[in-house]
């Protein structure tokens, strides 16, 4: 039996792909910066039936992913307590 995939997950994945395909990658700072706004993403979708609430509120020039974990589309890093290295 084939696994049925969630349509919401498909829509989220499609929207994120559109945002990241139109993003600028700054290798010096280690950032991925958005070149499209939320309205631009709606225009790029160019189809009906997409759930508008799944489109994140991004702006042009916003940092999406940062090497320090402070990007708008990334989950914050968890602080790890304890020793680092070998015993």
Q: For residue range 7-61, list pLDDT tens digits in order.
A: 888 889 999 999 999 999 999 999 999 999 999 998 888 877 888 888 889 999 9
For residues 38 and 58, what is the distance between their CA atoms, to the nearest angstrom?
6
Which pLDDT does position 20 carry in this prediction? 94
Which pLDDT does position 34 carry in this prediction? 94
3-state secondary structure of 11: helix
Full-model pTM? 0.75
Task: Kindly report, residue by residue over 46-65, the tens digit of the pLDDT.
Answer: 877 888 888 889 999 999 99
Bigger pLDDT: 81 vs 70: 70
Which pLDDT does position 40 carry in this prediction? 92
Q: Are 31 and 71 in contact (CB under 8 A)?
A: yes
Which pLDDT does position 76 carry in this prediction? 67
């Amino acid at each position: 039996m084939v696994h049925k995939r969630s349509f919401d997950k498909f829509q989220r994945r499609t929207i994120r792909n559109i945002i990241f395909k139109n993003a600028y990658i700054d290798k010096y700072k280690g950032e991925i910066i958005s070149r499209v706004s939320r309205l631009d993403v709606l225009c790029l979708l160019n189809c009906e039936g997409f759930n508008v609430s799944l489109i994140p509120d991004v702006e042009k020039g916003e940092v999406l992913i940062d090497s320090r974990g402070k990007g708008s589309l990334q989950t914050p890093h968890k602080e790890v307590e304890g020793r680092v290295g070998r015993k």
